[in-house]
């Protein structure tokens, strides 16, 4: 069992997935009513799909962006922000989610490894820019003024996620790794638990069911993120050691 961690030297890495935003009303990808049930990910979330049918891809992400305005952060987002704020040690938050609910829930530091719905990427000048509510192939890049080069700033299948070197350093130094609401089927995020454990971290999974990766964790908190994250944060802030 790792040493107690409830002081300024303690380091926690939290990884969130679509399950963290599910109770806000955003669909997950792989649950029975998930996004990928109605859409083939290979026809949406790949550079090849974008090259074949950009309109379909713009439409999909424009709809996701519009939906964000209809939803609110839930208590799991707010409790993670409270932990980041009040915990004496370092709490690094990395999310696979492309929504902005962690920020709206109060998190000052969020590492968006799969990009963000709120940003667009210009293939002409490589700028990453705030996205308007909707954009498409006719939209002119506000930086280089070229039309036709803007795509959603989302990391698609086959592309390298953002910030991998800093995520790797945080995983190598953490005492506690917590995965919340992720199915553990998409790499490299699915490998983070092994990476953290290889460096001696204790690992907790929070999920409404046991994920594919469940055997890799020391401990499971089974239930809805809103309820389980609140309990875990309360334990950590009241000095629980793992």
Distance of CA 1 to the CA centre of its chain: 28
> Which residues lie below 8 Å from residue 1, measured CB to CB, with a gap of 6+?
202, 242
**Smallest gap, in angstroms, from Cβ of residue 88 to ligand OAD?**
27
**Smallest gap, in angstroms, from Cβ of residue 39 to ligand OAD?**
10
**Smallest gap, in angstroms, from Cβ of residue 109 to ligand OAD?**
19
Q: Which stretch binds ligand OAD (CB under 6 A): 52-60, 62-70, 140-148, 201-209?
A: 201-209
Strand locations in the chain, DSSP E?
Answer: 11-16, 90-95, 111-112, 115-122, 128-130, 150-154, 176-180, 202-207, 219-222
Concerning whether 114 is annotated as a catalytic residue, the answer is yes
Tokens representing residue 113 in the block: 């490894």
Q: Which stretch binds ligand OAD (CB under 6 A): 4-12, 56-64, 179-187, 192-200?
A: 179-187
Find out whether the peptide bond into 38 is cis, omega within 30 degrees of 0: no
Nearer residue to ligand OAD within complex by CB, 22 or 236? 22
- Secondary structure (H, E, C), 159-195: CCCCCHHHHHHHHHHCCEEEEECCCCCCCCHHHHHHH
Q: Does 181 bind ligand OAD (CB under 6 A)?
A: yes
Q: Does 23 bind ligand OAD (CB under 6 A)?
A: yes
Positions touching ligand OAD (CB under 6 A) are 17-19, 22-23, 28-31, 34, 41, 45, 96, 114, 155-156, 181-183, 185-186, 207-209, 211, 224-225
């Amino acid at each position: 069992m790792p040493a107690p961690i409830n002081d300024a030297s303690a380091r926690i890495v939290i990884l969130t997935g679509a399950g963290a935003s599910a109770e806000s009303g955003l669909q997950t990808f792989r649950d029975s009513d998930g996004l990928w049930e109605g859409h083939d990910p290979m026809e949406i979330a790949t550079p090849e799909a974008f090259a074949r049918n950009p309109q379909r891809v713009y439409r999909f992400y424009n709809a996701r962006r519009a939906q964000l305005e209809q939803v609110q952060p839930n208590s799991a987002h707010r409790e993670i922000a409270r932990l980041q704020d009040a915990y004496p040690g370092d709490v690094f938050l990395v999310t696979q989610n492309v929504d902005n609910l962690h920020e709206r829930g109060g998190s000052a530091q969020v590492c968006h490894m799969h990009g963000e719905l709120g940003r667009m990427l210009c293939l002409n000048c490589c700028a990453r820019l705030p996205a308007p509510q909707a954009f498409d192939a006719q939209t002119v890049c506000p930086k280089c003024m070229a039309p036709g080069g803007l795509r959603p700033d989302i990391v698609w299948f086959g592309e390298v996620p953002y910030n991998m070197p800093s995520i790797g350093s945080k995983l190598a130094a953490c005492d506690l790794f917590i995965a919340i609401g992720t199915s553990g089927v998409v790499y490299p995020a699915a490998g983070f638990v092994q990476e953290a454990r290889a460096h001696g971290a204790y690992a907790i999974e929070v999920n409404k069911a046991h994920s594919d990766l469940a055997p890799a964790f020391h401990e499971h908190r089974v239930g809805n993120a809103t309820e389980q994250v609140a309990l875990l944060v309360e334990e950590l802030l009241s000095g629980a050691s793992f």
